[in-house]
Amino acid sequence: MQVNIINRCKGTKTPRKFLVKWVSAVSRALVKHKILSASQKKLLRLKPELVIVFVSSAQMKKINKQFRGKEYATDVLSFTGEGLSDEKAPSLGELVLCAPVIKRQAREHGLAFEEELGYMVLHGMLHLLGFDHELSKAEAARMFKIQDEIFEKLS
CB atoms within 10 A of CB 57: 16
Angle, helices 113-128/137-154, rounded to nearest 10 degrees:
130
What is the distance between the alpha carbons of residues 137 and 129, in angstroms, rounded to a whole number?
A: 18
Identify the architecture of domain 2-154 in CATH: 3-Layer(aba) Sandwich (3.40)
What is the distance between the alpha carbons of residues 33 and 63, in angstroms, rounded to a whole number?
A: 32
pLDDT at 86: 47
pLDDT at 88: 63
Position 87 confidence tier, pLDDT thresholds 50, 70, 90: low
- Say how far residue 57 (Cα) sits from the centre of its chain: 17
Q: pLDDT: is 62 or 34 the higher one? A: 62
Average of pLDDT values for 39-56?
A: 91
Report CA torsion sign: 68, 130, 43, 75.
positive
pTM: 0.92
pLDDT at 148: 95
